[in-house]
């Protein structure tokens, strides 16, 4: 049985799992966070959209911050739009219509060009983060229907369940945006205890209409995380300094309470004064 690790909390990771299931329907798939991938000693045949686990035969990724982990035979390209776009080549699935649709969706999602349906899929994935059985079922549903995944009862029923919560938090986000004053190129938004993970990054994307760079501090199960979004600035560099990574205009890292002050200093040094806003 093929043993696989994929990223647990975004479309690219779950869509990559869908490609794996097209090729290997009985594959054993673990859905890992970035931190779990770095720490695990489990052996994998394939790892996708994650830092390279210690014991991994084939690694597939596109994050520049992971470039030093590459070995001969891996599929690694920081210029690729998604990990799924590399995985489809490694699995020799490029002639499959469903596989091409899955890759197209991953490319759109991982470059911030979500369609309405992809936004729903992203919400459903994040709502079920940590639930291996549900994530596997979501990936399997997409592997059956491709871009028509909303026809799958599992996904549509999950969306009906969480939609009222999403709408409630969207109203809160609108209120927050109206209260964040401009006056600098950079905003640091501390949303600990106010917004759940499922919508935690939405605020950053929306605030890019007001700022060049937005940094969000929010809670995850293992502690604190900071997420950077930008229009034109390279935020991956600052994420790498904190032990994280990602993409040039969208990166993040786990941090401690004490590191938050260092983050503010580094942001100020790079981009000038910072607008700080604590969400209540």
Q: Does 165 map to a domain?
A: no
Domain count of the fold of the chain = 2
Tens digit of each residue's pLDDT (9 = 90 or more) over 113-149: 889 899 899 999 999 988 999 999 999 999 999 999 9
Q: Does 163 map to a domain?
A: no
**Burial letters for 113-144: b for 16+ Cβ neighbours within 10 Å, e otherwise?**
ebeeebebbbbbbbbbbeeeebbbbbbbbbbe
Structural domain range at position 224: 180-278
Tell me the two tokens of residue 220: 């995850």
Are residues 108 and 192 located together in one domain of the fold?
no
What's 208's domain CATH number?
A: 3.10.310.30
pLDDT per residue as tens, the chain (280 positions): 999 999 998 899 999 999 999 999 999 999 999 889 999 999 999 999 999 999 999 999 999 888 899 999 999 999 999 999 999 999 999 999 999 999 999 999 988 788 989 989 999 999 998 899 999 999 999 999 999 999 999 999 999 999 998 898 888 888 888 888 888 899 998 888 888 778 877 888 888 888 999 999 988 777 788 989 888 899 888 888 888 888 888 888 888 888 888 888 888 889 998 888 888 7
Q: Does 162 map to a domain?
A: no
Q: Which of 157, 172, 194 is the last residue of a domain?
A: 157
- Provide the whole-model pTM: 0.84
Q: Does 170 map to a domain?
A: no
Tens digit of each residue's pLDDT (9 = 90 or more) over 88-120: 999 999 999 999 999 999 999 988 788 989 989
Number of residues that make up the chain: 280
Are residues 48 and 128 located together in one domain of the fold?
yes
Q: Does 94 map to a domain?
A: yes
- Both ends of the chain: CA-CA distance in Å? 48
């Amino acid at each position: 049985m093929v043993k696989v690790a994929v990223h647990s909390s975004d479309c690219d990771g779950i869509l990559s799992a869908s490609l794996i299931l097209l090729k290997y329907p009985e594959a054993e798939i673990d859905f890992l966070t970035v931190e779990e991938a770095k720490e695990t000693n489990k052996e994998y045949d394939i790892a996708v959209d994650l830092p390279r686990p210690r014991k991994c035969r084939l690694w597939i990724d596109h994050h520049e911050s992971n470039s030093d982990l590459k070995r001969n035979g891996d599929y690694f390209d920081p210029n690729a739009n998604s990990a799924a776009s590399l995985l489809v080549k490694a699995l020799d699935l490029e002639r499959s219509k469903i596989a091409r649709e899955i890759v197209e969706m991953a490319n759109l999602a991982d470059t911030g060009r979500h369609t309405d349906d992809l936004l729903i899929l992203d919400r459903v994935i994040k709502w079920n983060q940590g639930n291996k059985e549900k994530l596997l079922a979501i990936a399997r549903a997409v592997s059956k229907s491709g871009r028509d995944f909303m026809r799958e009862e599992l996904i549509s029923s999950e969306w009906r369940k969480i939609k009222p919560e999403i709408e409630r938090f969207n109203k809160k986000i609108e209120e927050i945006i109206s209260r964040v004053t401009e006056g600098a190129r950079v905003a640091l938004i501390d949303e600990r205890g106010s917004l759940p993970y499922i919508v935690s990054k939405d605020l950053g994307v929306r605030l890019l209409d007001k700022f060049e760079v937005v940094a969000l501090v929010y809670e995850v199960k293992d502690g604190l995380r900071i997420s950077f979004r930008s229009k034109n600035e390279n935020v991956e560099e600052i994420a790498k300094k904190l032990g994280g990574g990602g993409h040039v205009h969208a990166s993040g890292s786990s941090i401690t309470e004490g590191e938050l002050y260092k983050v503010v200093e580094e942001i100020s040094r790079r981009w000038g004064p910072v607008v700080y806003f604590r969400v209540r």
